[in-house]
């Protein structure tokens, strides 16, 4: 019965069941005035995540709480399965980090570069995604 109801909901929403089953919860803190974070949240939802958006005008205290190095700050900070996503990190890197259970705090794409998810445009050069570490300096996680 419960399954039937889920199935019905899926049909009504026209969402594939597989996508529903796989949706990974993300909590994303953002400034209400930052539009690229909204686009990024939508992008995450299209890539198997379920985003809980939390608007705050005090992002500085979020960065402080999670110890985000200033050089790696992006416009939003998100938490997924105990990991941090700082900035507009492509979903493939987030999924890779989760799948491989990386011994890191999270991943970061500093700034709001053109061509990152949520920032439509052409990348002038490849963008680098960094690791967030608790004690060692950040390293390169990947680029795109």
85 binds Cu ion, rule: CB under 5 A? no
Number of helices followed by number of strands (H, E) in the chain? 5, 7
Which of 26, 28, 36, 41 touches Cu ion by CB under 5 A? 36
The residue among 25 and 32 lying less far from Cu ion, judged by its C-beta, is 32
| Beta strand pairing call for 49-55 and 24-30 | parallel
Is 44 a binder of Cu ion (CB under 5 A)?
no
78 binds Cu ion (CB under 5 A): no
Residue with tokens 């205290």: 61
Query: Binder to Cu ion among 44, 51, 72, 75 (CB under 5 A)?
Result: 75
Positive or negative torsion for Cα 34, 38, 43, 44: positive
| Site for Cu ion contains 53 (CB under 5 A) | no
Structural contact between residues 88 and 117, judged by C-beta atoms closer than 8 angstroms: yes
Is 37 a binding residue for Cu ion by CB under 5 A? The answer is yes
Which spans of this chain sit near Cu ion (rule: CB under 5 A)? 34, 36-37, 75
């Amino acid at each position: 019965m419960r399954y039937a109801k889920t199935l019905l909901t899926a049909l009504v929403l026209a969402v594939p069941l597989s996508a529903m089953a796989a949706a990974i919860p993300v909590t994303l803190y953002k400034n209400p005035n930052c539009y690229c974070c909204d686009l990024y949240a939508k992008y995450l939802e299209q890539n198997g995540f379920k985003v809980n958006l939390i608007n705050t005008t005090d992002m500085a205290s979020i960065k402080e709480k999670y110890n985000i190095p200033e050089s790696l700050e992006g416009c939003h900070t998100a938490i997924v399965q105990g990991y941090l996503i700082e900035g507009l990190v492509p979903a493939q890197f987030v999924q890779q980090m989760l799948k491989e259970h990386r011994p890191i705090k999270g991943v970061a794409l500093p700034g709001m570069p053109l061509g990152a998810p949520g920032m439509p445009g052409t990348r002038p050069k490849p963008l680098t995604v960094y690791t967030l570490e608790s004690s060692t300096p950040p390293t390169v996680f990947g680029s795109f």
